[in-house]
Amino acid sequence: MTTSSARAEISFDPCGRGYKPATAFVAGGVAVEAGFWFDGASAPRFTLQILGLSRFDPRLILAACVHDKAYQSGCVSRREADLLFYNLLIQGGVTRKKACVLFQSVRKFGWLHYNKSKK
């Protein structure tokens, strides 16, 4: 499975470990290097299920990649990373209502992961 956008081509690792971009790209001031490994959209499972989505939904992958990289690198504030996630979800084809729910989810629970990456 490959997810393409104007800025990135992201492929699923056939070993089932996750995803990685084929080439480097920049989105919203976040530079993502080729081969950056991430595990799909890691929003709480119950949130994804309620919305009828999965962590591997192609509409979520670019947003998840950039969001994970932003959290890992700390190159933008947590709020900026979450807003970028929301905007990329919409660009990826997620409805505004679902994107809003996912945004609220990362705002409520994302601090756990952002703080880990800052240590």
Residue 116 has pLDDT above 80, yes or no: no
Residue 1 has pLDDT above 50, yes or no: no
- Using the structure block, give the residue that is written with the tokens 């470990």: 17
Q: What's the predicted TM-score (pTM) here?
A: 0.82
Give buried/exposed letters for 36-46 (b at 16+ CB in 10 A, else e).
bebebbbbeee
Total residues found in the chain within this entry: 119
Quick: pLDDT tens for 36-95: 888 888 888 888 999 999 988 999 999 999 999 999 888 899 999 999 999 999 999 999
Q: Which pLDDT belongs to residue 4?
A: 39
> How far apart (Å, rounded) are the C-alpha atoms in residues 69 and 76?
10
Residue spans per domain, the chain: 2-118
Q: Which pLDDT belongs to residue 113?
A: 66
Pairwise pLDDT comparison (7 vs 45), residue with the higher score: 45
> How far apart (Å, rounded) are the C-alpha atoms in residues 74 and 111?
12
